[in-house]
Chains A and B, each alone.
Chain A
Amino acid sequence: AQSVAQPEDQVNVAEGNPLTVKCTYSVSGNPYLFWYVQYPNRGLQFLLKYITGDNLVKGSYGFEAEFNKSQTSFHLKKPSALVSDSALYFCAVRDPMDSSYKLIFGSGTRLLVRP
């Protein structure tokens, strides 16, 4: 069965420092992977995706993520955190062979960037 794990409920980082939000997945075959962000009282916004090709993908707001097939991970990173990056982050996976197109989401990681 497909699944996504976000092992940290919360990540704290100082402004200007690099940040990493972790995600590991379990899916048969080659997955499609996504990161979404949710600001308070808002819906989810798409940040970036990995479909195929270069393992390092760049997305919105200076975020990037690295696909590591051997470790089945897709960690979200940013070289220099901003206070405005504080939000709830969701990793999601889709099995390309699944005709339902549904996404499986992790439980979310709250990022707090302190000034």
Chain B
Amino acid sequence: DVKVTQSSRYLVKRTGEKVFLECVQDMDHENMFWYRQDPGLGLRLIYFSYDVKMKEKGDIPEGYSVSREKKERFSLILESASTNQTSMYLCASRYPGQGLPEQYFGPGTRLTVT
């Protein structure tokens, strides 16, 4: 079974703090993704990574950065947390190639910025 884990289920941070969200997958997937989930908006892509040290902006990258130093780990960084970044953050990964396009998700991190 594919397993995607996220470092924290719940996180509370103060405005202005630097926040790190970690995601690890154990299936040697090349592609990894970070989404945020907000009620009524579904999931929106923040950043994705094709492979190690590669990253691409998604639809809402402002206020975020990412790091992919190892294949299994993809980190999302909030440089200076703000209250409008309070959200559920979901990490996903997928097999390379076209044949299996579905993504596999971690359990999510619910971040509250006060």
Contacts and interface: CB of A to CB of B under 8 A. Distances in A.
Contact of A94 (B9, B90, B101, B108): B101
Contacts of B41: 107
What secondary structure prevails in chain B residues at the interface with A? Answer: strand
A42 B45 contact: no
Given A4-B42, A44-B90, A108-B40, 6 more contacts: A43-B90, A43-B107, A46-B103, A49-B101, A96-B98, A102-B33
Interface residues of B, number: 26
Interface of B: 4, 9, 31, 33, 35, 40-45, 48, 56, 58, 90, 92, 94, 98, 101-108
B48 A102 contact: yes
A108 B42 contact: yes
Contact of A100 (B43, B56, B105): B56
B43 A105 contact: yes
A101 interface: yes
Given A101-B31, A102-B48, A107-B41, A46 B104 contact: yes
Q: Which of A32, A49, A90, A102 has the largest count of B CB atoms less than 10 A from its CB?
A: A102
Contacts of A100: 48, 56
Contacts of A94: 101
12 contacts: A41-B108, A42-B108, A43-B90, A44-B105, A46-B102, A92-B43, A96-B98, A101-B31, A101-B101, A102-B48, A105-B43, A107-B40
Contacts of B58: 102
A56 interface: no
A33 B94 CA distance: 15
Contacts of B102: 34, 46, 49
